[in-house]
Structure 1
């Protein structure tokens, strides 16, 4: 493979610190964001400030984790395809051994199928340690497909990828069944902090969330998604930590919940498809290694723990930016004023003015 001729220089800044708790990590960390949208830094920074003003900070709960790959096989008719699916299900113990032979960190943890006409889609779910797992899942799926075609009659090769995974596409199945890390982040912001730092009220944010994120997205035809801009924070975080940036497509599918609790603000972001890893392709660059080290994701831990830590930090970063933006949008003109002030200032600085 040819070495890259150049490294794209996306501006990067560390933001925070932000406070995180939950079932994966308890920490106060700064986070790196690589972006051309420079107002993102102070916006996420405002959310991070709020997390430091709240005793528990952002509580991040990792609900599930799995990487998926679907394969496609064809049969003469639907009945043959269905019987083949039942046979695959009956042989899962055998197929788990096939996967274990592909690598010591790859494990088959689930299987689902769908028959459409004479087409059989087989969706395999894997645990992949500290890697995001794209290549590991494909390698395992290739081995599984080979074994299935050798031992189950009546079916033939269709494709190593059947788009039922689903990779880098906005689909319902990922939100329902999960692909990557499923993380729920929550924060309870006292009314005084909402008023003094966000310059708004819990009621205003809760109402806007329903009208904009829920109703607006419904009218637009969004797929299992109701949020303002998860993709902004995810892209900045992914570029800074060596992730496959195209995975923000499914990663940014998620739901924001906001409630007025007697003036205090309950705010939550659920991200069911966070695809991140701390080893593998993209992690060998010096700046990525340094960023992962500063995030505490280069420690000697059990397999998978560094990637889980990275996932909850990413999810907490998303909450910070989402909270700050929704607060700004409750106030007429605030969002545009911030963009004009910050982006023109940066442009003037670059021109030497």
Structure 2
């Protein structure tokens, strides 16, 4: 049980990506660990496009928070309601409880739902450079103890009530946020769209409406309208030591495109990027090397390295999303790419 080994996943560096915005102003290569080998040239094509535009990918970090919801059983709904009223009135005291549990965790908000006599409390924290899973759970443990000691008529239900929501596709994360919320934008000149992406702005906009918006609506998608965010996120997460299961909520994002007189405005909004540069999974040597090369081991204010990493992840997603959407405007291009980069070959180079 104590033996440690590593599963080998093929990894390549792709880039450079040109990124500007409120967190990053840099040109960087990014590591992608994946068995889906067409992802490397696809993201690479999107990355090249970013170097041919005036500002590259403009990435704006909108918000950041990690959440944990606890479940309490109250005597009745009225008791649950009065408990919430008291907790909100004593919010500063709750913040002091959290401060005593961690050097970096800070309680920034509280949301609730009452169902019958069940009280769901959703605590929201900032967690420095950590993704914050364990930090938020530890803080919630302390908050739970404080509530049970000071609030009559409520009892322990669970340390996690699924109103967080961790690694599940839900609406609440898109509405309230979980992790880093990053919006990426790219304005591509008409000639670059036509000569490098082999399509037009009108075609990409039309496909985005029909595929990502209407198609996802028909499929019953939850707070999501994109082609394949999960592909880039999984590859980026595995290469940087993240909890890969967080691509479930991480891939709930929205692609938006506009035809601006033949120029293509292309945007990806990712409200649930859960990444960190310290904590579990970051001790592996290859992860440390990758984070260092990404510039995420620098001396910055607390949280600065994690913010940079989230922006790099979001920009990577845009590159892959743009490339795939452009490809799908052309009949047969997607399959040709997969055939070229995925089908195994024999020793004499003939495809089997």
| Shorter-chain TM band | over 0.9
Output the CA distance in 2 between the equivalents of 1:87 and 1:156.
Answer: 16
Match of 1:270 in 2: 269
1:28 matched to 2:24? The reply is no
Match of 1:75 in 2: 74
Match of 1:302 in 2: 301
Output the CA distance in 2 between the equivalents of 1:3 and 1:204.
Answer: 53
Output the CA distance in 2 between the equivalents of 1:52 and 1:245.
Answer: 29
Match of 1:287 in 2: 286
One of 345, 348, 352 as aligned partner of 1:348? 345
Match of 2:224 in 1: 225
1:99 matched to 2:98? The reply is yes
Match of 2:233 in 1: 234
Output the CA distance in 2 between the equivalents of 1:279 and 1:199.
Answer: 41
Aligned-residue offset at 1:88: 1.2
Output the CA distance in 1 between the equivalents of 2:223 and 2:275.
Answer: 20
Aligned-residue offset at 1:2: 2.4
What's the secondary structure of 2:94's corresponding residue? Answer: helix
Match of 1:111 in 2: 110
Match of 1:326 in 2: 325
Output the CA distance in 2 between the equivalents of 1:141 and 1:299.
Answer: 30
Q: 1:279 to 1:198 in 2, by over 3 A?
A: same
Output the CA distance in 2 between the equivalents of 1:208 and 1:304.
Answer: 37
Output the CA distance in 1 between the equivalents of 2:81 and 2:3.
Answer: 46
Output the CA distance in 2 between the equivalents of 1:103 and 1:151.
Answer: 21
Aligned-residue offset at 1:348: 1.7
What's the secondary structure of 2:124's corresponding residue? Answer: strand
Match of 1:257 in 2: 256
1:146 matched to 2:145? The reply is yes
Output the CA distance in 2 between the equivalents of 1:163 and 1:352.
Answer: 54
Aligned-residue offset at 1:53: 0.6
Output the CA distance in 2 between the equivalents of 1:259 and 1:323.
Answer: 13
1:2 matched to 2:15? The reply is no
Q: 1:352 to 1:108 in 2, by over 3 A?
A: farther
Output the CA distance in 1 between the equivalents of 2:85 and 2:280.
Answer: 36
Aligned-residue offset at 1:352: 6.6
Match of 1:56 in 2: 55
1:244 matched to 2:226? The reply is no
Gaps of 5+ in 2: none
What's the secondary structure of 1:348's corresponding residue? Answer: coil
Output the CA distance in 1 between the equivalents of 2:118 and 2:143.
Answer: 17
* TM-score, normalisation: structure 2: 0.98
What's the secondary structure of 1:184's corresponding residue? Answer: strand
What's the secondary structure of 1:53's corresponding residue? Answer: coil
What's the secondary structure of 2:51's corresponding residue? Answer: helix
Gaps of 5+ in 1: none
CA RMSD across the alignment: 0.9
Deviations 1:114-153 (A, max 9, x none): 1000000000000000000000000000000000000000
Deviations 1:12-46 (A, max 9, x none): 00000000000001010000000000000000000
What's the secondary structure of 1:291's corresponding residue? Answer: helix
What's the secondary structure of 1:259's corresponding residue? Answer: strand
Deviations 1:226-278 (A, max 9, x none): 00000000000000000000000000000000000000000000000000000
Output the CA distance in 1 between the equivalents of 2:154 and 2:3.
Answer: 41
Q: 1:102 to 1:352 in 2, by over 3 A?
A: farther
Aligned-residue offset at 1:222: 0.1
Deviations 1:141-196 (A, max 9, x none): 00000000000000000000000000000000000000000000000000000001
1:339 matched to 2:338? The reply is yes
Deviations 1:192-221 (A, max 9, x none): 000011000000000000000000000000
What's the secondary structure of 1:110's corresponding residue? Answer: strand
Aligned pairs, how many?
349
What's the secondary structure of 2:345's corresponding residue? Answer: helix
Aligned-residue offset at 1:110: 0.5
Match of 2:315 in 1: 316
What's the secondary structure of 1:130's corresponding residue? Answer: coil
